[in-house]
Structure 1
Amino acid sequence: MGPVLDVVLLAVATVLTVLLFAAVIRRLLGVRPGPVRTLLAAVLALLVVGPLLKRLVPSPEETDTTTAVLYLLLTIACASLLAMVVLVIAEVVVPDGSLPGPIELWRGSRARAVRTRRYTQVLRIALRHGLGRFLRGRRHLGVASSSSRRDLARSLRRALDDGGVTFVKLGQQLSTRRDLVAAEFAEELSRLQDQAAPVPWPQIRAVLTAEFGRPLDDVLAWVEETPLAAASVAQVHAARLEDGTDVVVKVQRPGIEAVVERDLDILRHLARMLEERTGWGRSMGLSTLAAGFAESLREELDFTTERDNLRAMAAALATSPERGVRVPAPHQDLTTRRVLVMQRLTGTPLGAAGPGLTALGPDRRRALADALLTTVFDQVLQHGLFHVDLHPGNVLLLEDGTLGLLDLGSVGRIDATTRLAFARLLGAVGTQDSVAAGDALLELVDRPEEIDERALERALGALIVRYAAPGATMGAEVFAALFRLVTEHRLAVPPQVAALFRTFATLEGTLALLDPGFDLVGAARETARSRLASALTPERLRATAEEEVVALLPILRRLPRRLDRVADAVEHGRLGVNVRLFADSRDRRWITGLVHQVLLTVIGATAGVMAVLLLDTRDGPLVTESVRLFPVLGYALLIVSVVLVLRVLVSVFRQEQR
């Protein structure tokens, strides 16, 4: 039992040493090291204690007990300092949390292997299409011309197409961000088609049964096994409910959620790598862009979100039923995250409705285009909820000659301030007021710290004269020109504002199918004028004034008393102005942290200088027969100095990491 007892005692002593060492480290350095680092540092301290003690006490037999205790404490302190230095160096080289621990490594080994294979596959696709040179930080002058950019855009489109659903969706979203990518890239990426081979019916039936929680025959009287359409995320089947209602069932492809999450993780790592290594990645803010794209795609994968969007859009359209624009009504009790059951709108997508449109006649087609544009303006300016992708495939020409909107998996939402700024921008374009247009544009975008507002006003004035003046029929080119202007002046466009401009840029092609001679910019200008005129009618002005008075009434009631107190203070010489320095808590925290670091640095440096002086002193009172007081104090101050300096270094490195 002797050796076993020794091993047990050694293990207990090691555990207690590690716990004590971790507590000391947290207290002295103000950090919480991981268990692996703490264990390694404590073991290092234990290994150093023995040799160091032998060096300090060459003849233990001749040393009295007090001296031995002092040397032991000194040895433990020096070994602990060495371990602390190692911890600080490790924190600088490999910050805590930047590498997974052993448990995370064990749990995530399989997922990491899958991700690595997929990551390698994505890189091979990029290299196969000649994109490898853009993964490094060097500048590439070969894309300065339009033809070279067009060739690169074609290679990028093919690479994204080979990458699968997530990368196809990314390319489609980038095609709408003309503030981020050049026109050649936007044009090429817009050709990406979200199509896929249909999933066999037995797999779709299994998904429906699992989501409904009961046999499919108990829910649907009939369902067409051949899908109406098949995309990379879902496919749509015609069906009929037990009560005879014709519906369409949108079913998520089996396993697509896991595929998307894996690719989004890879995309996040790629974005972070490119942002660190390349200038173009930093300028585009790839990490933020990837995070926004991931949020949007996850929202699209949750069909309950589309259900809520359909209900909200239907409520908004119900305020103007005379326009004849509808969305399918969802069946709330039959909708889950992976299945959406909604009303079937019988009609033909505009892209394939040529003969039906011709039969309507020019006047009716013009009326439909006006109704669609006015509806979109209502969505944007009144309700703040709008369809972001009104391409011809998402607009149906119904059998009764009205229009239906499809695919509301992702809609745009803007707040009242953004709606007001956009309305002001339209009004300024309509009146050709470049100053008001510049002010409205700066409210729409993220304004930089420095901007030449006069140059922005001149550029906007030139754009208005070229594209929005009476007689101009440039259509959606005005939005591309506006995006170029935003990019040239380094204005950051929020995602929802970009979606707003994307809506009108996409809408132009849809309106052209309805009415080939339709002038989007001219109609928008006239709509803006009419809305401004309606806002200035006596009834509307009176209502606005009443609303403002109601909002100001509490302030107006308190104003006389406040003016009386101010006048009384002025009369008796008691009026004063108090200015609070560092009123912001963030400023106070920064100043406090700076003062603490300075104090720790000064105290640490002073303790170090005093330690050197005391250690160099040969005389002084004796603590024991062979140990003098001044060297003991010198070693103590040296330990204090090292700990304080290490704490300052840890604080500095943490700030750099943040």
Structure 2
Amino acid sequence: MIVLLVTVFGLAVNTTLVAYTATRLLDVRYTLWRLVFVSVVSQSIVQYGLVPTLFAPFDGTTPSPDETAGAVALLALAFVCAPVIAMIMLVVWEAVLPTGAVPPVRSWFKGVRARLRRTRRYLQILAIASRHGLFGLLRGRRQLGQGPEQARSLRLALDDAGVTFVKLGQILSTRRDLLPPAYIAELAKLQDQAAPIPGATAAELVETAIGAPVGEVFSRFDPEPMAAASIAQVHSAVLHGGQAVVVKVRRPGAAQAVERDLDIIGRLAHLLDRHTAWGRSMDVLGLAAGFATALREEVDFTVEARNLAQVAVAHDRRRAAVGVPRPHPDLSDEGVLVMERLSGVPLATAGPVLAERGLEPGPLAASLLREMLDEVMIDGIFHADPHPGNLLLLDDDRLGLIDFGSVGRLDRELRASLQAILTAVDRQDGPALADAFIGVSARPDELDQAAFERALGAFMARHLMAGTAPDLRMFTELFRIIAKYRIAIPPELAAVFRALATLEGCLTAIDPGFDLVTQARSVGEAYAEQHLRPAAVKDMLAEEAADLLPVLRKLPRRLDRLAAAAEAGRLTANFRLFSRAEDRRAITDWLHQVLLTVLAAAAGVMSVMLIGIETGPSLTDDIGLYQFLGLALLLIASIMALRVLADIFTKPRDRDDAR
């Protein structure tokens, strides 16, 4: 028993020493189980392979006094080989299977139930796609067709897949810039309907949110919902003060179902981006990311309440002609939202009502576009999902916007940049448009600006010349040009273009002949005229003066210091080639790698020369002193070479993770 304990203790000590030495020499941290594995294997190779081979000349006999020094040297060389063998295994392992490619062992059994549920749901989605003949699209074996049959199959598959996929289809039904007309028509048929939860359950959720019985807050609460969808349902109610409100109640478990399906959508998006050309051309990864962000905000009603309050203040400030409901934050939480009730009919079914009231669809659509652009250019907060289901025709013939679960925000600088982009488009000025796009992004290192300007000029000549009929597909081509030249548009501006693409579906629903680009130009001209008014110019000058005043205050002191330094002959200019710490570290790392590579090569050449010397002192009958020194030098060369390889395989990934 004592012998076994001593053996185990010795093995543990040797394993620790080998792992520590290999880690220190490579200057890389590896997982514990990987270090233990390579340490045990390297010791086994040394103990059962290398040592018996080196000591074979002794035939198991005790070395003589003359041979003792050589035996000790060989034994030391053998045990030094253990960390080197471990280092070789670690470097090869890192090259073939990098750290992080496989989850840690301790996490393999965590969340098994959640992974099983996700896998079951993933297989269910794939089965639905296969049942409707869409599996070939997922694998890239078929292209997205133009006919109504495939469009109908896609609509049925999304409908079968449930709430999250239905909402994805509803959003895609407004993206005329991405999908053919047959798909737009089919996806517009998707209805997000669900069996309502019992009125008693809804009342309990409301009471939990407001912290009081329903009767103490509402003079009337209708237990029958006005509408029921998969995420929430809406009840009509009246406060004790007489104000009509709607109560939006989230379904129990809706947030968990959305998260599960968003994970599936993200995986499918990566699959389509990797295996299909049509998926990459539609930027399915960007669509999936934007959809996930919007849907997560939609299931959290505190986000919508905050958005409603901010939009209402902005509307009141400029006296907007479009109505938005006012929230009651004191009666709301993340699962319940109480807000003002707007009396009207959904825009999607308002066609007969427009005719009855004698309303012209063109002016109504123009007012909606003006409202959207006012939100973007003046308020800096806008409805990011203005599809027909979120619009009402109110009883007073105005338009009403609802469902502010997802909004976009632009600061003053981004609004000015968007104004510059729209002005350049209106003037068909390619260089100005290129400067506007470059101004809102990090300039690529190898940008061919002349080619970029020519591409934008050709784009505008193709889509915006007199006599052409511009459509929303031009946004798709514009984004392709931007992506080709690696111009990174801020996500806030990308949200504006997505909202305009979605809004086009609403405008077409009101007036099928509505020309978005022409109307947007007229609105842009009105903005330009407003900026040229004396009051606007005065405000602009006041803002610029306020920004410039701190600089002007410091300018006399700085000029005096410069003049004094010049008079005393102390005026100098410093130029620091590597002023950034990151640049200095990168240069240092490169120099270290080059130096280690040169030293490793030199040591390797010297070791080969020493091993080839057959004369000189002998350690054993078969190994001379020079050969032993050559082997030791070869180990040193191997260590330096492995250190360089470890840097190559691991340090770039470490820098990327740090960024």
SS in 1 for 2:317: coil
Partner of 2:610: 614
Aligned partners of 2:22 and 2:86 also within 8 Å:
no
Aligned partners of 1:479 and 1:501 also within 8 Å:
no
SS in 2 for 1:607: helix
Partner of 2:39: 42
The C-alpha deviation readout for 1:415-466, integer Å capped at 9, x for no partner, is: 3333223323444555666665565466578887344413422431443334
The one-letter code matched in structure 2 to 1:35 is L
The C-alpha deviation readout for 1:522-554, integer Å capped at 9, x for no partner, is: 543333222211211223223322332332234
Partner of 2:384: 388
Aligned partners of 1:433 and 1:461 also within 8 Å:
no
Instruction: Quote the offset at 1:284 in angstroms.
Output: 5.3
Distance 1:614-1:175 versus aligned 2 partners, 3 A rule: farther
CA distance, structure 2, for counterparts of residue 424 and residue 176 of structure 1: 27
Aligned partners of 2:611 and 2:627 also within 8 Å:
yes
The one-letter code matched in structure 2 to 1:233 is I
Partner of 1:305: 303
SS in 2 for 1:548: helix
Instruction: Quote the offset at 1:99 in angstroms.
Output: 1.3
Distance 1:175-1:74 versus aligned 2 partners, 3 A rule: farther
Count of matched residue positions in the alignment of Structure 1 and Structure 2:
641
CA distance, structure 2, for counterparts of residue 182 and residue 84 of structure 1: 57
Structure 2 residue 89 is matched with structure 1 residue 70: no
Distance 1:87-1:588 versus aligned 2 partners, 3 A rule: same
Instruction: Quote the offset at 1:30 in angstroms.
Output: 2.1
C-alpha RMSD over aligned residues: 3.8
CA distance, structure 2, for counterparts of residue 207 and residue 6 of structure 1: 68
Partner of 1:647: 643
SS in 2 for 1:147: coil
Aligned partners of 1:429 and 1:525 also within 8 Å:
no
Instruction: Quote the offset at 1:290 in angstroms.
Output: 3.4
Structure 2 residue 128 is matched with structure 1 residue 128: no
The percentage of counterpart residues that share the same residue type is 45
Distance 1:593-1:536 versus aligned 2 partners, 3 A rule: same
Aligned partners of 2:218 and 2:239 also within 8 Å:
yes
The C-alpha deviation readout for 1:305-356, integer Å capped at 9, x for no partner, is: 11110011011001123x4433222221232222222222233223334565
The one-letter code matched in structure 1 to 2:112 is S
Distance 1:87-1:439 versus aligned 2 partners, 3 A rule: closer
Partner of 1:497: 493
**Which residues of 2 match residues 428-577 of structure 1 at below 5 A?**
428=424, 436=432, 439-440=435-436, 449-450=447-448, 451-466=451-466, 478-487=471-480, 490=483, 495-508=491-504, 510=506, 520-559=516-555
2:84 to 74, 78, 81: 81
Partner of 2:228: 230
The one-letter code matched in structure 2 to 1:526 is S
The one-letter code matched in structure 1 to 2:414 is T
SS in 2 for 1:478: coil
SS in 1 for 2:400: strand
The one-letter code matched in structure 2 to 1:480 is R
Instruction: Quote the offset at 1:611 in angstroms.
Output: 2.4
SS in 1 for 2:465: helix
CA distance, structure 1, for counterparts of residue 541 and residue 15 of structure 2: 72
Partner of 1:471: none
The C-alpha deviation readout for 1:62-120, integer Å capped at 9, x for no partner, is: 22665554333322222332232222222222222211233211113222222222222
The one-letter code matched in structure 2 to 1:258 is Q
The one-letter code matched in structure 2 to 1:271 is A
SS in 2 for 1:95: coil
Q: Which moved more, 1:604-613 or 1:198-207?
A: 198-207
CA distance, structure 1, for counterparts of residue 626 and residue 208 of structure 2: 80
Instruction: Quote the offset at 1:50 in angstroms.
Output: 2.5
CA distance, structure 2, for counterparts of residue 422 and residue 184 of structure 1: 33
Partner of 2:394: 398
**Which residues of 2 match residues 177-256 of structure 1 at below 5 A?**
189=187, 191-201=189-199, 203-205=201-203, 207-208=205-206, 211-212=209-210, 220=218, 222-241=220-239, 245-256=243-254
CA distance, structure 2, for counterparts of residue 544 and residue 581 of structure 1: 39
Instruction: Quote the offset at 1:360 in angstroms.
Output: 4.2
Structure 1 unaligned segments of length 5 or more: list them. 469-473
Distance 1:232-1:445 versus aligned 2 partners, 3 A rule: farther
Partner of 1:325: 322
Aligned partners of 2:383 and 2:404 also within 8 Å:
yes
Partner of 1:595: 591
Aligned partners of 1:607 and 1:641 also within 8 Å:
yes
Partner of 1:112: 115
The one-letter code matched in structure 1 to 2:37 is L
Partner of 1:580: 576
CA distance, structure 1, for counterparts of residue 383 and residue 136 of structure 2: 38
CA distance, structure 2, for counterparts of residue 152 and residue 567 of structure 1: 77
Instruction: Quote the offset at 1:180 in angstroms.
Output: 5.8
Aligned partners of 1:615 and 1:631 also within 8 Å:
yes
Partner of 1:262: 260
CA distance, structure 2, for counterparts of residue 179 and residue 576 of structure 1: 58
The one-letter code matched in structure 1 to 2:257 is V
Aligned partners of 2:18 and 2:39 also within 8 Å:
yes
SS in 2 for 1:597: helix
Q: Which moved more, 1:517-526 or 1:42-51?
A: 517-526
TM-score by length of 1: 0.84
Aligned partners of 2:381 and 2:409 also within 8 Å:
yes
SS in 2 for 1:106: coil
Partner of 1:341: 338
CA distance, structure 2, for counterparts of residue 631 and residue 87 of structure 1: 27
Partner of 1:271: 269
SS in 2 for 1:195: coil
Aligned partners of 2:22 and 2:83 also within 8 Å:
no
CA distance, structure 1, for counterparts of residue 101 and residue 497 of structure 2: 39
Aligned partners of 2:456 and 2:481 also within 8 Å:
no
Aligned partners of 1:178 and 1:483 also within 8 Å:
no
Instruction: Quote the offset at 1:565 in angstroms.
Output: 7.0
Aligned partners of 2:236 and 2:246 also within 8 Å:
yes
Which structure's relative contact order is higher, taking Cα pairs within 8 Å and 6+ residues apart?
2
CA distance, structure 2, for counterparts of residue 240 and residue 395 of structure 1: 22
The one-letter code matched in structure 2 to 1:421 is S
CA distance, structure 2, for counterparts of residue 111 and residue 509 of structure 1: 38
Instruction: Quote the offset at 1:25 in angstroms.
Output: 2.6
